[in-house]
Structure 1
Amino acid sequence: GEAPPPPWSLLVGNVGDCAAVLCRGGAALPVSDAHKPARPDEAARIRRAGGWVTEDEDGISRVCGELSVARALGDADYKGMAGKDLDAMFFLFPEGHPREFSGDLIVGEPEFRSLALGPGDAFLLLACDGLWDVMDEQTAVEVARELLAEEEGKAAAAAG
């Protein structure tokens, strides 16, 4: 049979521009990937559906020049467009585009990852692109560790 699960485990599911990072022994361990249009697998899926991926001057990739996320629970304008008349749509179609889509440009399907937790695992950071676009994972973990140590010091002083 199968081995029993470890005493502590973490299951992370994500869809969209959020990503989770575990602090393991003081180091940042990414446990999920944000669904950015520039991700090769997401860009390929978008192109298969008839969409395209652009990149802004500031390096942000976008689905059809608009949306900066490749998966989302909302964004209904990017779903269910296969076979629809797109003449009234808001997209600025690239030259030569057939003006039709064969599938959803944005999907709501989450990705899951499970991992065993150990004594060196301190906390999980869960954030959206508002953080990850301006701070790398290790810096975010270091800032969080400093803030947690500060709060623990305050709590110890108040108790002591």
Structure 2
Amino acid sequence: MTCCAAWPGLIDAAEQAMATVMPLSKVARRPTPGAVDVNSQSKHWPCLFPQHGPGRKHTRKIELAGWQRELVNEHTEEFVRGLIHSDGCRSMNRVRRRLKDGDRWHEYPRYNFTNVSMDIQRLFTDAFDRLGIAWTQMNAKNISVAKREAVARLDEFVGAEY
């Protein structure tokens, strides 16, 4: 897993998660320009992630096994948090409004999630639906969460501390 070096809390969380799930395998960090690779070698990782396989994610079926569905349903916030940390971001959206007396700028926080796999997008949006968080499909690969209440709800468990 490659993490942005500017977010040491995310790097620590990735290392802790790997060490917790695979306690007998050593977790290593390798700095690269602007990032840190966090990895753990084990022949058992495919047992935990049967969706892993050759080729690109968006060209193969991504479906949770029954035991994975149970975990995701039980820990939906953590699942969403992980998806945002891997394929999403929280940013300020800046919108310019043209007025007769000059332009005005309006900005507000929003979350974006980007993934080409329709299956992964569906897992993401299904989790949002279970949590009652409003989302919008921006285009074929991007999902946005921009309503004030929805962003506030995500901030509760995703947070900006990473």
TM-score, normalization: structure 2? 0.23
Return the structure number with greater relative CO, CA threshold 8 A, min gap 6: 1
Of Structure 1 and Structure 2, the greater strand share is in 2
TM-score, normalization: structure 1? 0.23
Between structure 1 and structure 2, the one with the greater Rg is 1
Of Structure 1 and Structure 2, the greater helix share is in 2
